Amino acid sequence: MSDEGEVEGFDAWALRVASQRRPSDGPGLAEAARADLPYATPPQRAAIEALLASGSVAGAAASLEMHPERLRGLLSEAQRRAARSGSSREHDHIRDVPPGYHLRGTSTLYGADGTPKLQWVKTARDQEEQIAALLDAIEGAVELYRGAIDPAPPSLASHRDDLLVVYPMGDPHIGMYAWHEEAGEDFDLDIASRNLATATRLLVDAAPPARVGHILNLGDFFHADNAQNRTARSGHALDVDGRFAKVQRVGMATMRACIDSALRRHELVRVTNVIGNHDDHTAILLSHCLAALYEREPRVTIEQAPAKFHYYRHGRVLYGVTHGDTCKVRDLESVMSADRPADWGETRYRHWYTGHVHHDSAREFRGVTVETFRTLAARDAWHTASGYRSDRDMKADVWHSTYGRVGRHIVGIEQVIACAS
């Protein structure tokens, strides 16, 4: 092989591409950009077409009323998008990769005359394409639920505006499977759904007639985020009960049962589904479908922002919500004060609701308390073998707009199972 020439690896190719990231005016620039048109986004396409029409970067930038460096940036981005798809003729890449994939690497064999003789093209699934396809699927699923719920009759004759009831759900893990011979207890899709709906009903029945009830799904509502039954970020294999579509259907029905329970006590019901490390995408699907489902119900508000941090205000009370997998507990104080400086200065009682760790803890910092919550879910085989033994329950907090938290109701797993049977 050395007699014929040398093989250029992907690293060397990437360095050559990087050296050309900022195209400059010169012969052939417009024609090179023309080859990137099929891969360009709308802004990049507009920049390329302006360049083709004017013949120069300066002329194209003037026609689009933008700085020339911004236009060069768009051209460079289009070039990189084309290269990810396998098209970069100046680097001897002339074959597009299949839809849904991106170029992961190449090895090119050059002859003595410098022309390519043989090329190996390595591809990988394109995460951006997968996410785009998922979002398209979410939009289609939403249409199936749109406006399906009729408005519910008023819950009570009168409500207290000064009270707020918060129902934090610690990591429900809908769809998780556990076998008693491995984990000490059976757990499956039906058990998870029944326990969560029952616990919520018991807590709602014990709650005061606050005008607003806030259901906080603290993340990992679903145990698996895809049909491969693996976590999206780490790829860990998961024990899952049932097909992916069935888990989604049961999870949606379970949350609907919880919302309907809250509607019997509260005039307004707010729902926040936090994104966890087990359900990066299905948490978004859950929120969008619930929002469509309750579209005609003015008493239900579904938070749809795909944010990792959420904040809510009730008089002198400020509380934040996050799963807890992306930020250390000790940093949440400064995160809240930085994200909500006005609310921080105007409130007296500040609290963080987090999940992720499956056990109770509360740490008080200067001005805010950070609390983690238990789960109702049983341990799977991995957690059992790793020695995790936290207890299981669900709670509801009663907040007063002036005096802060004035009550807490707790239902343990034994009470939940007894009332669910």
pLDDT at 72: 87
Tell me if 51 sits within 8 A of 57, measured CB to CB: yes
- Enumerate the H helices of 146-219 as residue ranges: 180-183, 189-206
CA distance linking residue 220 with residue 323, whole number of Å: 8
pLDDT at 41: 84
pLDDT at 1: 39
pLDDT single digits (tens) 24-40: 455 568 877 888 888 78
CA distance linking residue 374 with residue 382, whole number of Å: 17
pLDDT at 78: 83
Q: What are 392's two structure tokens?
A: 């299981």
CA distance linking residue 102 with residue 81, whole number of Å: 9
Place of tokens 């302006």: 50
Average pLDDT over the chain reads 84
**Domains present along the chain, CATH in parentheses:** 7-125 (no CATH), 129-420 (3.60.21.10)
CA distance linking residue 289 with residue 310, whole number of Å: 19
Query: pTM for this one?
Result: 0.69
Angle at 38 between CA 32 and CA 41, to 5 degrees: 100
Strand pairing class (300-302; 268-273)? parallel
CA distance linking residue 61 with residue 17, whole number of Å: 23
CA distance linking residue 291 with residue 273, whole number of Å: 11
Which residues make beta-bridge pairs with 103?
123
Q: What are 399's two structure tokens?
A: 């907040």
pLDDT at 347: 98
Nearest Cα to Cα of residue 311 among 281, 351, 365: 351
Which residues make beta-bridge pairs with 23?
none
Q: What is the 3-state secondary structure (H, E, C) of 67-85?
A: CHHHHHHHHHHHHHHHHHC
pLDDT at 23: 47
pLDDT at 324: 96
**Tens of pLDDT, residue by residue, the chain (421 residues):** 334 444 445 444 444 444 444 444 555 688 778 888 887 888 888 989 999 998 889 888 899 988 888 888 888 888 877 776 654 555 444 455 555 555 455 566 667 776 766 655 555 555 555 555 555 556 655 665 677 777 877 777 789 999 999 999 999 999 999 999 998 999 999 999 999 999 999 999 999 999 999 999 999 999 999 888 877 777 778 999 988 889 999 999 999 999 999 999 999 999 999 999 999 999 999 999 999 999 999 999 999 999 999 999 999 999 999 999 999 999 999 999 999 999 999 999 999 999 999 999 999 999 999 999 999 999 988 888 888 889 999 999 999 999 999 999 999 999 999 999 7
